[in-house]
Amino acid sequence: MLRLNSWLLTQDGFRGRVRVLERPPAAGTLGASLDAVMVAVSSGLTSSAAFGALIAWLKTRPGKLTMRVKKPDGTEIEIEAEGLRGLSAAQLAAYVESIQATASSDPTS
């Protein structure tokens, strides 16, 4: 999570919109644990741009990763990523588009 946070802070449009959420330290531990990275999405930073940046970061990570994205209405989507390094730009764009469609869909319908 710290690497994702650091990377997002270098991306245009994310400065001032990213913050780390820490869980209070458990009894007997030396410090808080990183719980999440929160990105504020607004008219200046669309959810499509945020998902695109997330997938671009996931593409640099080896192995299989699972990320949970919590929308403002409280619904969550889970993104599992494996083998993204080999995707072409067009395949990556299609992947981002499918995640955006999932995130935009109404879970009650």
Instruction: Please write the tens of the pLDDT for every residue from 3-25.
Output: 777 888 888 777 777 877 777 77
pTM beyond cutoff 0.85: no
CB 99 within 8 A of CB 68: no
pLDDT in tens, 26-81: 777 776 665 666 777 766 667 777 777 777 777 777 777 777 777 777 777 787 77
SS3 33: strand
What tokens appear for 69 in the block? Answer: 């994205």
pLDDT computed for residue 17 by the predictor: 79
pLDDT surpassing 80 at residue 94:
yes
Rounded-to-integer distance, Cα 39 and Cα 88, Å: 26
CB 23 within 8 A of CB 35: yes
pLDDT surpassing 60 at residue 107:
no
pLDDT computed for residue 52 by the predictor: 76
Element (H, E) at 77: strand 76-81
Query: By C-alpha distance, which of 30, 25, 21, 17 is closest to 2?
Result: 21
pLDDT computed for residue 32 by the predictor: 65
Rounded-to-integer distance, Cα 109 and Cα 96, Å: 22
pLDDT surpassing 70 at residue 108:
no
